[in-house]
Amino acid sequence: MTSELLQQVRVIDPVSGIDRVTDVLINDGLIGSVADNISDLPKDTHIRNCHGLVLGPGLVDLYSHSGEPGFEERENLLSLMQAASAGGFTRINLLPDTSPAIDDPSVVAQLLQKSKKHRESSPVPHSLLPLVNVWGAITEKVAGKQMTELADLAATGVVGFTDGQPWENFALVRRVLEYLQPLGKPVAFYCCHPELKGNGVVREGLDAIRLGLPFIPVSAETSAIAALLELAAPIGVPIHIMRVSTARSVDLIASTKASGLPVTASTTWMHLLLDTKAVKSYDPSLRLEPPLGNYQDLVALRQAVKTGTIDAIAIDHSPYTYEEKTVSFAEAPPGAIGFELALPFLWQYLVESGEWTALELWRALSTRPAECLHQKPSAIAPGERVEMILFDPQESWKVEKKNLYTLSTNTPWLGQQIQGRVLETVNSDQ
């Protein structure tokens, strides 16, 4: 038996509602005991002083982009998994917009087998890379035209269904909801009206006028959300709304939840930290989809996550090569990396500032994402399998290529100093 005692570590566990300094004993990949002072130890227990460190359940990312297959120069599966582990994520879920798209059981099998091989051969001692799941495409080549063989994909073990792209054909959306109802899998939609969006790249408002960039009206998002909710209501199938970015969208989701419709929602970590004022730098890494909101959107999103109206925070990790992002703001592909940066920045901006409690942040990054995916959340309690991370909120480090596992560096924080770092991600075998 291998045992380790984490002494006087700050345990944050949303499942049990615990945020306190305590001892944690780990035996052979299981949590043996959680108590104020553990003295009865197995022979040869390794004792580790964890004063000032945070121990929390592993983080769960609802959706992110993989470069592999098709765009390995941006990110391969191994580097993505290493980056996720370095950021504290023990479960990640990949969007189907790869090349080829994840619209066929053979592609699902290939990715799951390769991720399993990477986990089994992980060079990191006493730890495993994150568990990888994939979203199955709703339509062939995520083109929004022809439905995939949904039942065949469901049988391969996809975590759920999404295209991760805006929809134009709402008659097809209605049919999709009817077909997916008996499969019992989560279904997620990115709501944006393509015609209202046009060629816009920033959120409509005074900042957009000052920047001189084409804008996207709030109604591009809200009209699509309203249409989706109207379609889902009579069918009653649970839906997840991705990438919520406006205050008005929060109002629509809140009223829908109050009516009893089974809907969950998520926003991305960058939409909780920055608003349109940040775009004055014209940094192409701030070209996101949906775009950063105005200040009132940021405030509404933070409050909605805090209260649970928005269930979870997604990373939406979107790697691109240096050449792809070294263009003008309007021409840059949308997206930024995030696995290794999200927890430190969210902790620094929201927990250290006192706006959120540590439990509220962890709940939105771990417990609720798992629940959105119909999975059991990990917990730090006796008898539970070890799926947790050790985080040092005080460690300072610089965001630069040599300090990152991800192959891409498309982030607006490149070159900046950051406080807070994941020291260890421990994920016993599934």
> Angle at the Cα of 285 (from 220 to 334), degrees rounded to 5?
40
Q: Could you give phi then psi for residue 207, rounded to 5 degrees?
A: -65, -40
Contact 80, 38 (CB under 8 A): no
Among 13, 311, 316, 392, the one annotated catalytic: 316
Contact 75, 406 (CB under 8 A): yes
> Angle at the Cα of 355 (from 257 to 381), degrees rounded to 5?
75
Give, for 64, the enclosing helix (H) or strand (E). Answer: strand 59-64
Residues 6+ apart with CB under 8 A from 212: none
Contact 384, 31 (CB under 8 A): yes
Is 316 considered catalytic here? yes
Return the exposure string of 191-222: e unless at least 16 CB atoms fall within 10 Å of the residue's CB, then b.
bbbeebbeebbbbbbebbeebebebbbbebbb
User: Measured on CA atoms in the order 217, 218, 219, 223, is the torsion positive or negative?
Assistant: positive
Residues 6+ apart with CB under 8 A from 18: 11, 12, 380
User: Measured on CA atoms in the order 408, 410, 411, 412, is the torsion positive or negative?
Assistant: positive
Round to whole Å and give the CA distance between 120 and 429: 9
Give the bridge partners for 92, in sequence order: 61, 132
Q: So which residues are the catalytic ones?
A: 316
